[in-house]
Amino acid sequence: MVEIKKGHPLKAVLFDMDGVLFDSMKNHTLAWYRALSSREIPCERDEFYQYEGATAEWTINLIFERTYHRQATKQEIEELYTLKSKYFNELPEARPMPGAKEVLKIVREHGLLPVVVTGSGQQSLLKRLTEEYAGFIDASALVTAFDVGHGKPHPEPYLKGLEKAHAMPGEAFIVENAPLGVKAGVAAGVFTIAVNTGPIPEKQLQEAGADLIYPNMPALQKHLPQLLTERHNRA
């Protein structure tokens, strides 16, 4: 388990976006399913919950290797991701995750910087992020799929998030909802809290290395003040 070391005051909380700040994963999974099915590429809708946090290239290559025993070409990746984005944008807008604004308010009240670290490149949702969460999240405190060479579960996205916050691993928390994201946080050496907002079994989040697991954002909201107070008292 990652330790939050004494003598390191907290500076930041790093948030995943899909499934943490927006209730958007059901839209992503349906869009992926429709895009691949339209090209007669076999897949299951719910499997895309497992790939949350990874880049589109990683996801497409995983399925191509499984189906065709090869990686997708650059053109195939671009065509499929464009199609996936089209289907995503045709769906009703994903709403802010219940409890997310309240969690961000607590984070700000404790003088911490919220940084969003997402594997998404979905421009429509990224644009809404700073609009829906105005006053809580700044556009300069975002790490997206366009900022990294490796997606989750590689630690690079969260290491970039730490850079944005000018923080060391022991000076931050991560809030995640997906196994790949939890693995990325653990690999970056950061205390990682999982909120199980999707259909993934809790055991998978435990096995990925989550330090704490809550069933949803309101549950995290309830316990976060105590967690931050205890952490402050140990610093």
Output the pTM of the full model.
Answer: 0.91
pLDDT tens digits for 89-142?
Answer: 999 999 999 999 999 999 999 999 999 999 887 788 888 998 999 999 999 999
- 11 vs 46: CA distance, rounded Å: 36
Give the residues of the chain that fall short of pLDDT 50.
Answer: 1-5
pLDDT of residue 92: 95
Partners of 13 in the β-ladder:
114, 173
> Does domain 12-23+95-234 sit in CATH 3.30.360.10?
no
Q: Which fold has domain 25-90?
A: DNA polymerase; domain 1 (1.10.150)
Tell me, yes or no, if the two domains 12-23+95-234 and 25-90 fold the same way. Answer: no
pLDDT tens digits for 156-165?
Answer: 999 999 999 9
List phi, psi (to 5°) of 96.
Answer: -55, 140
Domain limits, the chain: 12-23+95-234, 25-90
pLDDT of residue 3: 41
